Structure 1
Amino acid sequence: MGVPFTFVHAADLHLDSPFKGLTKVPESVRDRLRESTFVALRGICDVVKREKVDFVVLAGDLFDAADRSLKAQLRLQRALEDMTANGAQVFVVHGNHDPESGRQAKLDWPEGVFVFGSSSVDCYSAYTRGGQLAAHVYGISYPTSAVADNLALRFKKREGAPFHLALLHANVDGDPAYDNYAPCKLEELKTAGFDYWALGHVHDRRTLNEYPHVVYPGNIQGRSIRETGSKGAYVVSVAESGAVDMRFEDVADVLWREVTVTIEGLEREQDLKNRMLSALEDVRRDAQGRPALVRVRLIGRGVMHDRLLQPSIAEEWLEELREWIGAPEETEAWIWPESILVRTGGTLLLDTISEDEGFIGELVRKGIAATGSADLSKALLDESLEVLHRQPKVREWLESRTHDERVQWIQQAMELTLTLLRVEEAG
Structure 2
Amino acid sequence: MGVPFTFVHAADLHLDSPFKGLTKVPEAVRQRLRESTFEALRRLGNVVKQEGADFVVLAGDLYDAADRSLRAQLRLQRMLADWTAEGIGVFVVHGNHDPESGRQAKLDWPAGVHVFGSAGSAAECVPAYRRSGELAAHVYGISYPTAAVTDNLAMRYRKQEGAPFHLALLHANVDGDPAHDNYAPCRLAELAAAGFDYWALGHVHDRRVLHEYPHVVYPGNIQGRSVRETGEKGVYVVRVSEAGEVRLDFRGTSDVLWMEKGVSIEGAEREQQLKDRLLEAAEEARHSAGGRPVVIRLRLEGRGVLHDALLADSAAEQWLDELREWLGSPEERDDWVWPESLSVRTAGAANLRGLAAEEGFLGEFVRRGIRASEDPALGRELTDEALDVFRSQPKIREWLSSRSDEDRAELIRRAMELTASMLRDEDAG
- 1:400 offset after TM fit, Å? 4.6
Q: Deviations over 1:358-385 (max 9, x none)?
A: 4433443333334444444444443344
1:263, 1:298 within 8 Å by CA — same for their partners in 2? yes
In structure 1, distance between residues paired with 2:139 and 2:390 = 48
TM-score, structure 1 normalization: 0.95
Name whichever of 268-277 and 398-407 sits farther off: 398-407
Relative distance call for 1:325 and 1:108 in structure 2 (3 A) is same
- What does 1:13-412 correspond to in 2, within 5 Å? 13-120=13-120, 121-389=123-391, 395=397, 398-412=400-414
SS at match of 1:343: strand
Q: Secondary structure at the match of 2:346?
A: coil
Give the Cα–Cα distance (whole angstroms) in 2 for the partners of residues 388 and 205 of structure 1.
Answer: 40
Find the residue that maps to 2:239 and give its secondary structure: strand
Separation in 2 of the partners of 1:395 and 1:240? 59
Query: Judging changes above 3 Å, is the alpha-carbon distance between structure 1 residues 300 and 159 closer, same or farther for their aligned structure 2 residues?
Result: same
Task: Provide the secondary structure at the position in 1 that maps to 2:36.
Answer: helix
Deviation at 1:411, TM superposition (A): 2.7
- CA drift at 1:412: 2.7
Measure, in 1, the Cα distance between the counterparts of 2:386 and 2:185.
Answer: 34
SS at match of 1:66: coil
When residues 19 and 205 of structure 1 are mapped into structure 2, their CA distance, relative to the original with a 3 A threshold, is: same
Q: Which residue of 1 aligns with 2:416?
A: 414
CA displacement, residues 71-101 of structure 1 (integer Å, 9 cap, x when unaligned): 0000010111112123211111111111111
Say which SS state the counterpart of residue 118 (structure 1) adopts. Answer: coil
Q: Is the contact made by 1:48 and 1:86 (CA closer than 8 Å) also made in structure 2?
A: no
How many residue pairs are counted as aligned between the two chains?
Answer: 427
Partner of 2:11: 11
Deviations 1:375-402 (A, max 9, x none): 4444444334434555667655544544
Code of the residue aligned with 1:5 in structure 2: it is F
- How far, CA to CA, are the matches of 1:95 and 1:29 in structure 2? 29
Asked if 2 retains the 8 angstrom alpha-carbon contact of 1:176 and 1:400, the reply is no
Task: Tell me the distance in 2 between the aligned counterparts of 1:364 and 1:395.
Answer: 26
Deviation string 1:166-187 (CA, Å, 9 cap, x unpaired) is 1111111111111111111122
Distance 1:37 1:405 in 2: 32
> 1:354: Cα distance to partner?
2.7
Match for 1:217: what amino acid?
P
Q: What 5-or-longer segments of structure 1 have no aligned partner?
A: none
Q: Distance in 2 between matches of 1:224 and 1:290?
A: 16
CA apart distance, 1:157: 1.3
Distance 1:151 1:295, change over 3 A: same
Give the letter aligned to residue 37 of structure 1.
T
Alpha carbons of 1:127 and 1:277: their partners in 2 closer, same or farther (altered >3 Å)?
A: same
Please tell me whether the aligned partners of residues 52 and 87 of structure 1 are also in contact (alpha carbons under 8 angstroms): no
> How far is the alpha carbon of 1:331 from its aligned partner?
0.6
- Of the structure 1 ranges 103-112 and 163-172, higher mean CA displacement relative to structure 2 is found in 163-172
Give the share of equivalent positions with the same residue, in percent: 68
**Using a 3 Å threshold, how does the CA distance of structure 1 residues 207 and 17 change in structure 2: closer, same or farther?**
same
Q: Secondary structure at the match of 1:344?
A: strand
The CA RMSD measured in Å over matched residues stands at 1.8
Structure 1 contact 238–244 (Cα < 8 Å) conserved: yes
- State how far apart, in whole Å, the 2-side matches of 1:382 and 1:122 are: 52
Return the alpha-carbon distance in structure 1 between the equivalents of residues 408 and 202 of structure 2: 29
In the alignment, the residues of structure 2 paired with residue 297 and residue 237 of structure 1 have an alpha-carbon distance, to the nearest angstrom, of 40
| Code of the aligned partner of 1:285 | H
Q: Please, what TM-score do these two structures have when normalized by structure 2? A: 0.95
Aligned-partner SS, 2:260 = strand
Cα pair distance change 1:216/1:421, threshold 3 Å = farther
Amino acid at match of 1:106: K
Q: Structure 2 vs 1, CA of residues 378 and 153 (structure 1 numbering), >3 Å: closer, same or farther?
A: farther
Which blocks of at least 5 consecutive residues in structure 2 are unaligned? none
Is the alpha carbon distance of 1:191 and 1:326 closer, same or farther for their aligned partners in structure 2, counting shifts above 3 Å? same
Q: State the Cα deviation string for residues 341-360 of structure 1 (Å, max 9, x = none).
A: 11100112222223334443
Partner Cα separation in structure 1 for residue 357 and residue 22 of structure 2: 44
